[in-house]
């Protein structure tokens, strides 16, 4: 299964809820192998930059990219 990119910022309550939802999803059999790479928009701007034109809010999730 391809990885999912999650762009987040520290202290964002929506990012925390998304992380929890992903964690719960990963407990189910068909989704156990989902890999999520988290990119912190504030400390990793160089990694978030290529996605900048594709998102406006955090958390933003991307699948099957790059």
What's 42's domain CATH number?
3.40.30.10
Q: What is the pLDDT of residue 66?
A: 57
Number of domains in the chain: 1
Domain span at residue 30 reads 4-63
12-42: pLDDT as tens digits: 999 999 999 999 999 998 889 989 999 999 9
| Higher-confidence position of 54 and 6 | 6
Q: Are 18 and 61 in contact (CB under 8 A)?
A: yes
Least confident of 2-6, 48-52, 61-65: 61-65
Kindly state the DSSP code that residue 1 receives in the 8-state scheme.
-
pLDDT greater than 60 at residue 45: yes
Distance CA 47, CA 25 (A): 25
Distance CA 55, CA 48 (A): 10
Q: What is the pLDDT of residue 53?
A: 83
């Amino acid at each position: 299964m391809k990885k999912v990119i999650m762009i987040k910022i520290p202290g964002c309550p929506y990012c925390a809820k998304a992380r929890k939802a992903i964690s719960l999803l990963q407990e189910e059999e068909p989704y156990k192998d989902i890999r999520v790479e988290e990119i912190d928009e504030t400390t990793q701007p160089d990694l978030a930059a290529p996605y900048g034109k594709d998102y406006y809010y955090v958390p933003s999730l991307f699948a099957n990219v790059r």
